[in-house]
Amino acid sequence: MVEIKPFRGWRYNPERVPLKDVLAPPYDVVTPEEQKSYLSRSPYNVFHLELGATYETDTASENRYTRAQKYWDRWRQEGILIKEEKPALYLYCLRFPWQGQFLKRRGIIALVRLAPWQSRKILPHEKTFDRVTEDRLQLLRATKAQFSQIFCLYHDKALESLNILEEEASFLFRVEQNEEVHELSRVTSPRVLAEVQQIFSRELLYIADGHHRYTTALRFMAEMERLYGKEPPRCFHYMMMYLCPFEEPGLLVLPTHRLLKLPFPREEILNRLARFGKTERLANLPPQEDLAKLPPSSFILLHQDEVLRFSLAEEILKGWKESDLSKVGLLPVAVFTRLLKEAFGFSEAELKEKGRLIYTPWVDLVRHHSQEGWWGFLLSPTPLSALEQVANAGLIMPHKSTYFHPKILTGTVFFEIHPDKGPPC
């Protein structure tokens, strides 16, 4: 059901730039301070393309998007970036520490034929926001290139697609960042590429990370089709993706915890929660493995030096199950967002807009901010099976329901879009 293609990707020339200085995390997980740090790390850091600086003097003709286009053109002309001689699929291997183990996660970087949402070939689970999509669309219009991959899941019980590629892969580079080892290899064998393409022709894709970029690619495709037509397929009909099987052992999804700055005194917050369930004091913060076993209707609260456990009352949970929660099943984030609205009168969007909400998967960060007066809510993770069920049902989860760890690096491979040409691009 899904069409994938090898492509002639652009990559950093390791003879011209140290890769550790030019690669970066995904643009949507960094703070403004981290963005500045990466931009200052190297004049060739990928954030000069993906997430450039803005200035008060910016105009319609000189801005972060036009600067990205100039960098993109100049770096290719100067040999900072080099292009593959043959179309390739890329094997991306990640090794990382987690709870005393060293895990391995493999994925495939490929071009994937874009499919409108209604086709049900590529399935979302998250809502998108026009403001974010517009930013990505302006960058795509200016550069006609994709600098990062969106992350999609698919089924491959025997891991055949990854194993076939791994047997034939030619090593390209290794980069270590934050105890994570990122390795990229390529495969150009026509026989192997055809075998992997055949496997994907039977599968659906589920977007894990990158809903806004996928929506952006659909909008850009519609604009280009008005200029160049719908047939034959051209480069703008494809998007660069990182594809990982549900069954890959190192696929790790973490909860996204919430930090709230609520406009109520402590006693009122506890009284409001008491109307919906039971709050008990704990002597210590439970270990990470116990947090992961919390039922969806329970949260750990951190505030100042207090550790509390809140459990939603059964009679309230039953009523919520019979209403909107039944649409997505009993998910921790769905329970939390309903509790936030019912107990405190706020939506997450309202708090986020006022700077009173922080999302994070890191318990240490929650603990740190809780010492500064924030209320930390630790949630259990959303099961991968729930993501698939929600997507298959044509529904969406609440915002920030999942956090896939680790993130793949931006800048490993770039995709140049030739609007007037077809694949291989």
238-245 and 150-154 beta bridge pairing: parallel
Structure tokens at 247: 């069954």
- DSSP three-state, residue 24: strand
Structure tokens at 45: 């850091």
* Residue from 161, 235, 241 nearest 209 by CA: 241
**Which tens digits make up the pLDDT trace of 353-396?**
899 999 999 999 999 999 999 999 999 999 999 999 889 988 88
What is the DSSP annotation of 41-86?
Answer: H-TT-THHHHS----TT--SSSSHHHHHHHHHHHHHHHTSEEE-SS
- The CA distance from 331 to 94, in Å, is 28
* Residue from 62, 3, 19, 102 nearest 406 by CA: 102
Structure tokens at 157: 């019980």
- Altogether, the residues listed in the chain come to a count of 425
**Which tens digits make up the pLDDT trace of 24-60?**
999 999 999 999 999 999 999 999 999 999 999 999 9
Structure tokens at 255: 């909860």
**Which tens digits make up the pLDDT trace of 123-167?**
999 888 888 899 999 999 999 999 999 999 999 999 999 999 999
What is the DSSP annotation of 218-258?
Answer: HHHHHHHHHHH-SSS--GGGEEEEEEEETT-TT-EEE--EE
Question: Where in 256-391 does DSSP place strands (E)?
Answer: 257-260, 277-281, 298-303, 306-312, 357-360, 375-378
